Amino acid sequence: MTEFDEDLLARQEARMLCRRAGQAQQTLETLPQEKLDAIVRAMAAAFEGECASLAKMAVEETGFGNTQDKTEKNRFACQDVLRAIEPMKTVGILREDREKSLWEIGVSVGVIGAIVPSTNPTSTVCYKALIAVKAGCAIVFSPHPKAAKCSCAAAQILARAAEAAGAPEGTIACLTKNKMAGTQEMMSAPEVKLLLATGGPGMVRAAYSSGKPAIGVGAGNGPAFIHSSADVPKAVADIIRSKTFDNGTVCASEQSIIVERSMETAVLAEAEKQGIYLMPKDQAGALAKLLFKPGGGLDPQVVGKTAIYLAEKAGFSVPKNTKVLMAREQEAGPTRPYSMEKLCPVLAFFVMDSEDAVLSKAVEVLRHEGSGHTFAIHARDEEVIRRFALKIPVSRFLVNAPAALGGIGAATGLFPALTLGCGAIGGSSSSNNISPLDLINIRRVAWGLKEEPHIPQAPDSELVELLTQKILERLG
């Protein structure tokens, strides 16, 4: 069969699944909150029973990350997300304002087209399906070709559970023909009303260029500032925990450490003690060639690999306890690979002469890549925290927390999410951790006020003419 035929089959499949989703949507949007909640609970329970097997499948198919952390991510996607959305009101009358004579009614946006990344291929499917159905939306997934089997398996588990609990057939679907033509057809399908895009920059740009409303996310490239008031051992432990979680595949994870010169010795000593290996210049150069392709862009072969594996591939050895590789850096830009997002346990290390220089460098790094995403600070000094929070261009400003887990809401009070909006500064339509409330519209019902507002009568033309003559006479 020709490539052209495969594209046609992919388009036909996308068309068919979107039409079924459109039919399902007609029923879904009539269901009351209680029924939607029951369906969501059934979906989460079914997925929870398969967390470990889906994690294993994802690692085997993609080669990214590790089974233990992917299992934890899957549990986060069904357990934490369910707990957060259960009390939410998303459909029907959400609020009545007696004083202003207003009602607010939640209305589903309709069928959602969802792009799934290869780094979180099963947890993202669960998370997006739960928030979609909670909002009364059908959802059609387009998985990454590198993770199509595990993503579709996750979608099938959720679909079966949803239908058994009373959801119409076609509420949850997944494209099985791994072709861009199918994804394009899904994004342009008339039934699809909103795109929820998590993936590479190219796919997110395609979603925003589709002509449909879209919620997408930009690249993460978050710096971590260890201030002189920080608990240094805890700060280093948090960074290692975050940067090694699923071997660095969470986009909110730290990409660099920034310190003032007065803190350099203490931070490096603690880093070495806990398993961060500071590479000499020649080793850092060898690894940089491995990380990024000659034409630019992170090489997929390094994504989600361990520090020891990366060192071996780059041609040097490291201590057996090495958890993270780190390279000195001072600048940010396209010719400085360590200043960019690295979806593996590799960090840049910036040493600045002052707190002002730290602030400037953090902003420089984020403006190069990662604007609007995530920043982490480790400090006890609240004034410093306040000063940086007012200046750093991110949507998630994390304090004394591992960024990967803090950014997604697993270790902070943020909404638990695997789609992290970056706001306008990051090219996103939202700065939220995306929740069901981002997938509904609000219909406002407004009564006329009891007291009619006073609207003065316009003067008649003869009176205007007479007044004009009087004014001219006085001026003359």
What's the distance, Cα to Cα, between the start and end of the chain in Å?
92
At 115, phi and psi to the nearest 5? -95, 135
- Tokens 């069969």 belong to residue: 1
Cα gap 150→220, rounded to integer Å: 24
Cα gap 153→150, rounded to integer Å: 5
The string of DSSP codes covering 403-415 is HHHHHTTSSSSSP
Cα gap 428→349, rounded to integer Å: 28
Cα gap 69→448, rounded to integer Å: 56
The radius of gyration of the chain's CA atoms, rounded to the nearest angstrom, is 26
Which one from 18, 137, 150, 251 is the annotated catalytic residue?
251
State yes or no: is 251 an active-site residue.
Answer: yes
- Find, among 194, 41, 210, 227, the residue nearest to 111 by Cα: 194
HSE-CB for 13 with a 13 A CA cutoff: 20
Cα gap 217→198, rounded to integer Å: 6
Identify the three-state secondary structure at position 259.
Answer: strand
Q: Where are the alpha helices (DSSP H) in 195-280?
A: 201-208, 232-244, 264-274
362 alpha-carbon distance from chain centroid: 21
Is the Cβ–Cβ distance between 71 and 51 less than 8 Å?
A: yes
Residues acting as catalytic residues? 251
